[in-house]
Structure 1
Amino acid sequence: MNNRSSVLLVVLALIVFIGSQSLYIITERERAVQLRFGEVVNNDVRPGLHFKLPFVDTVRRFDGRVLTNVSRPERFLTVNQEPVNVDAFVKWRIVQPRDYYAATAGDELAASERLSALANDGLRSAFGTRTLYEVVSGERDQLMLEIRDRVDLLGREALGVEVVDIRIKGIDLPQEVSNNVYTRMATDREKLATEIRARGSEQAEGIRANADRQRTEIVANAFRQAQITRGEGDAIAAQVYAQAFSQDEEFYSFWRSLQAYRDSFGTGDLLVLEPQSEFFQYLNDGLGGRR
């Protein structure tokens, strides 16, 4: 290889090296700023192929996707001074690369910590003006929107980031508070159960009293109707007996004696009667005592 070829190779290698130092690519997943001697000369480098002065300009790249910031649970106080442990997360992304670089020097961990502090301040303020019921279920969606808007405004001003969403993963009471709450809930449930039982007993007494009254009325009406029916039956029977007696007094007397014999004999009872008494008149004399 002669000297001319060597020189050409060196020049070509130098051109390739300078070209690699002059051109760079920013992807759709990245956000970047271009620096010249440490000073920002391009606030927001868009995706695509770009040129920079070699050995003079530098490019700082940041993750442009939506990031999730998960922090440890924090304790807040409600408006009733009830402590709660809140586990929340923040979703955010860089929208102003220059402000983000100026605030954090491109350190994602530093940005995450500062964003957590802003989110905790927002949660603390929101919880401090609401009851436990409101933050748990009653106004939870509205609460999240208010906190997100507030933290988003602060995040844009302080860090150059957009807060996409803030969500609460869980709200737990401290153990010592949970025991008191469970005890109070059990007491309230027991009180309510006692009131319901008392109302039930009162209603049961009223139902029983009404049933007893209706039973007494029904029995009284049935007894009265039975007495009327029995009286009518006795009247009819007396009329029939009277008619039978008037038709044949001797036969009627004989038939009544047979009825008496049937009802008296064979019952196992002991009867002490004189053989010549009127009771045995038809047994002693077929003519019933008539000669």
Structure 2
Amino acid sequence: MSPKAMFSLIVLGLILLVGSQSVYVINETERAIRLKFGEVVEADIEPGIHVKTPFVDNIKRFDARVLTLDTTPSRLLTSGKKYVIVDSYAKWRIKDVRAYYKATSGDRLQASNLLANLVNKGLRDEIAARTLHDVVSGERDELMTKLTASLNTQTQGDLGIEVLDLRVKAVDLPDDLSNSVYDRMSAEREREAREYRSQGKELAEGIRADADRQKTVIEAEAYRDAERTRGEGDAEAARIYAAAYNKDPEFYAFTRSLKAYTETFSKGDVLLLKPDSDFFRYMKDAKGK
């Protein structure tokens, strides 16, 4: 290769190198600043193709999307001097690129740590002003809304970060307090169970006593009705017998004697009577004379 061709290749390489160092692209999901010798000369560069001074300007890119900060669960104290374990998360994004770079040097980990400290401090202050019931259920939404607004004011000015939302994932009691609460709840439920059993036993005794009373009354009334019916039946039978007897007293006496003979005499029985006894009057005379 001739010296002229070699020189042309070197010049072409230098042109390509300078060109590549002069043009840069910012994506839609990025925010960027331009530095000259470490000093910010342009902040919040719009997405697109841009030109810079090669080997002098330095471009710093940051994620412009909504990011999630998942904080470490913290042990916080309520106004009632009860400890709770609060697990929370925050949604945030870069609002002011210049302030963000000055506060964090563009380090996302450092930004997360600073934001986590602010979130933890805000939660501690808000929970310290509320009771355990308010933290768990009563004023939880109000607490999150108020804390998000106060954090936004602080982080936008100090860190260039906008906090979009702050939520508590869980509020748990420490193990020692959880055991105490569980024991108290168990004792309370046991007391209620004993009370319900006592009330049920008392009600059962009342129902059983009323059932026994009703049983006695029903049996007495049934016996009364049965005796009345039996008496009426006996009276009706006596009336029928009397009516039948009055129609033919002789025949009635004859049939009664025959029945007496049948029931009295059986195989092997011996009966000693006087021959002139009335018992044999129908044997001596068909008319019983």
TM-score, with structure 1 as normaliser: 0.81
- Give unpaired runs (5+ residues) of structure 1: none
Question: For the Cα contact (< 8 Å) 1:100–1:161, is it kept in 2?
Answer: yes
In the alignment, what sits opposite 1:165? Answer: 165
Matched, 1:188 2:195: no
Structure 1 distance, partners of 2:42, 2:101, is: 12
Q: After the TM superposition, which residues 54-203 of structure 1 pair with which residues of structure 2 at under 5 Å, given as runs?
A: 54-137=54-137, 140-203=140-203
The residue type paired with residue 273 of structure 2 is P
CA 3–240 in structure 1, closer or farther in 2 if over 3 Å, else same: closer
Question: For the Cα contact (< 8 Å) 1:87–1:169, is it kept in 2?
Answer: yes
Q: Percent identity?
A: 49
Q: Deviations over 1:228-285 (max 9, x none)?
A: 222222221221222223233333334445556677788xxxx998634999814994
What SS class does the counterpart of residue 106 from structure 1 fall into?
coil
Question: For the Cα contact (< 8 Å) 1:44–1:96, is it kept in 2?
Answer: yes
Q: Deviations over 1:124-168 (max 9, x none)?
A: 234334444554455555544443333333222221112233333
The residue type paired with residue 72 of structure 1 is T
What's the offset of the Cα at 1:210? 2.5
In the alignment, what sits opposite 2:39? Answer: 39
What SS class does the counterpart of residue 45 from structure 1 fall into?
coil
Structure 1 distance, partners of 2:78, 2:58, is: 49
- Which region of structure 1 is more displaced relative to structure 2, 87-96 or 165-174? 165-174
In the alignment, what sits opposite 1:238? Answer: 238
What's the offset of the Cα at 1:110? 1.4
What SS class does the counterpart of residue 87 from structure 1 fall into?
strand
TM-score, with structure 2 as normaliser: 0.82
Matched, 1:27 2:3: no
Structure 2 distance, partners of 1:137, 1:263, is: 95
What SS class does the counterpart of residue 44 from structure 2 fall into?
strand
Matched, 1:220 2:220: yes
Question: For the Cα contact (< 8 Å) 1:254–1:282, is it kept in 2?
Answer: no
CA 282–118 in structure 1, closer or farther in 2 if over 3 Å, else same: farther
What SS class does the counterpart of residue 53 from structure 2 fall into?
coil
Q: Deviations over 1:40-60 (max 9, x none)?
A: 222211111122233443222
Question: For the Cα contact (< 8 Å) 2:91–2:163, is it kept in 1?
Answer: yes
- Give unpaired runs (5+ residues) of structure 2: none
Alignment RMSD: 3.4
Query: How many residues are paired up?
Result: 287
